Structure formats: structure tokens, C-alpha cells
Amino acid sequence: MNDNSTTSPPPYNLTGVNFHDVPKRAVTGSVIDVHTHTQKPHLTAEFLRAADAYGIGRIFTMAPLEDVDPLRAAFPGRFEFIAIPRWQDAPSREDFFRIWHKRIDSFYEKGSRIIKFHMAPGSQKRFGATLDSPEVQEIIEHAYNLGYHFMSHVGDPKAWFGENAKYKPSEGHKAFHEQFAMLDRMLEKYPDRIHMGAHMGGSLEDLDALSRRLDRFPHYIVDSSATKWMVRAVAEQPLEPLRDFFIRYANRILFGSDLVVNEKFNYEHYLSRYWVHLKLWESNFDGLSPIEDPDAKDGRPTLRGLHLPPDVLEKMYRTNALEWLGAKVLKQPLE
């Protein structure tokens, strides 16, 4: 199945939603998206059409270093760039870390002030490293000395852990709850830098643990990115505790979509993600999600809106990014 299928519903729209009919937002003003993955301008332009349709303004993105200048030239003032390694083309493990070290300097020279550490189980296995590994510790320290703030992806959905799932203990993978000790150690070591946890810190399915981490580390914030994962995590838990969590930590949660720009995706695909996020956070929608999700129970993803209060949405969509990332990270107005 692909997005151009004419014989069955496309994976981004199982239910026939008109994504062009943008629902009225509960708050006014543009939305800041702090978590995306863009690349070449001609591909990113289609994504930005969808972002414009849904009122997305400034965007933080993890684009390849080689695409930073072209994206800036094509879309001036639209993007802030998060430093990432070059995931492909490293001949060896040693080359991967050596090249990553050099690219940190180049990203910094181009204005990046946040660096992303992807240390989910798949990355741990692929590179034989965690946040505690000497090679990663050296990169963290180098980034810290340059002046970077941090972003991390250390957990993955609970559905991916287990002997019948993606991360099998028999293949050397740790359990879900064991992923976060290395994060806590990093948070302890660098209390003077903002640290943003991608995908609700990987812990929306364990609110008690996430609450303890936010209470313990005042420099820790999280973003709401990863559409399927967030939809599933909300649908599979009682709504009131979740809603109470978002209200309690309203100053620490930033909006992110995790939209990935790729030549295989089209305009409708990008629209679908922003439509679902809008319904998830702003509405009391309760029904089948339009986006396919093989990890959902019985393969039928349910979308249940949290219907967050307008003041919480205002912080999540805009104010928190202005205060945390604009004032404290970029040290400049972020409009």
C-alpha cells in the first residue's frame, strides 16, 4: 500500500476525512512546531504548504547539514536547525563518531544551538553505544563546551518491547523502563542546559515516571511529537489523568509534530498529521483515527481528543517555545 493507492484507502486517510477543511482552532496565533525532519527545499515546499494551512509558523527541524543553507535561502526566517549526525555513509563505527564530532562545529557555526541525541534501542544496537558510552560522552562534552543545549530520544513505544515485538530481550534489548537511567544521569550532569525530551520524553505511557523526572529536573522539557505514538498512548489510557498531567505541566510541554519530509509523502499525508494533532489536543473527538497504525489494538487506531483548556494550548503551541527555546536557547526573539 502506498499514498497513491487507488484501490484501497491510503494509509494517511482510512476514514475519508477532508483535511483541507481545517477545523477552527481553539486559540489564535501561529503555532511553533519544535520537532520536524526536513531536507531539500523542493521536497520541503510541499510540507510547508500543509504547515501554512494549519497555522504553523516557525519550525525547528533536524535537516542534514548540507541542506541548512539551501533551506534558509529558500524559506528565510522559517526554520531553526537542530544539530544531528550524518546517519548514513559512515564506513565504520569510529568514522561515524569522528564525522559527528566535526559536524557539531559546522552546525554551531550556522547558528544551531540544540543538538539531538538519538539513543533509542535501535540506535543503541546499530552503533553499539548509549548516552553513557565514552564516544558519546565526548561528543556531549564538546557540544556543552560550545554552548549547545540538548535534545534526546531515548525511549520508544511500549508496544515495541517484548519477546514478540521489535525489541526482544533475547536479542539483547533492555526493557522499556530500563531505557531512562542514562537520561537521568545526563540530566544530573548538565543542570545548566535546557534538555528537551522528544516524544513526551518517551514516557507518555508511564505518567508517574515522567512526572517524577519533570519534578526532579527543572531544566527538562518535552515535546508532543510522533503522531501515531501519541494517539495510541492517549487512547489506551484513562483520559482524566492524562488531561490533568498536561494541565499540571503546562509550562513544560511544547508542540511538535515529528513530520518527516520525504519524496514518498504527499501534501495529503502532511495535512493528515496536523489534522490529527489538532483533534488530539484541542477537541473531544472520539472515533477511528484516519491514520493507519499496525501497533494499535486489533490494528484499528482510536483517536480520543484531550480537549485541553485554551490557556494550556497557548503555552503548548507558542508561549513555551518562546520562553524556553527563544529566550533561553537562541537568546533572541522567536516570532
Residue 4 reports pLDDT greater than 90 = no
**Type of residue numbered 81:** F
Reduced to 3 DSSP states, what percent helix, strand and coil does the chain have, rounded to the nearest 5? 45, 15, 40
Instruction: Dump pLDDT digits (tens) for 40-71.
Output: 999 999 999 999 999 999 999 999 999 999 99
- Report the distance separating Cα 234 and Cα 244, nearest Å: 12
User: Domain for residue 7, yes or no?
Assistant: no
pLDDT tens digits along 167-217: 999 998 999 999 999 999 999 999 999 999 999 999 999 999 999 999 999
Tens digit of each residue's pLDDT (9 = 90 or more) over 281-333: 999 999 999 999 999 988 889 999 999 999 999 999 999 999 999 999 998 88
Mean pLDDT of 73-102: 91
Give percent above pLDDT 70 in the chain: 98
Of 32-36, 127-131, 319-323, where does mean pLDDT reach its minimum?
Answer: 127-131
Residues sharing a CB contact under 8 Å with residue 132, sequence separation 6 or more, in sequence order: 182, 185
Q: Which distant-in-sequence residues (6+ apart) come within 8 Å of 307 by Cβ? A: 243, 282, 283, 284
Collect all residues with Cβ–Cβ distance below 8 Å to 40 and sequence separation of at least 6.
67, 70
Residue 158 domain-assigned (yes or no): yes
Q: Give residue 206's domain range.
A: 31-330
Name the one residue in this structure whose C-alpha cell is 518562546.
322
What pLDDT score was predicted for residue 301?
A: 94
Domain-embedded: residue 161: yes
Q: Does 78 fall in a domain?
A: yes
List C-alpha distances in Å: 211 to 127, 161, 208: 30, 22, 5
Which CATH number is 241's domain given?
Answer: 3.20.20.140
Q: What is the pTM of this model?
A: 0.96
CA-to-CA distance for 131 and 186, rounded, in angstroms? 8
Specify if 312 maps to a domain: yes
pLDDT of residue 5: 47
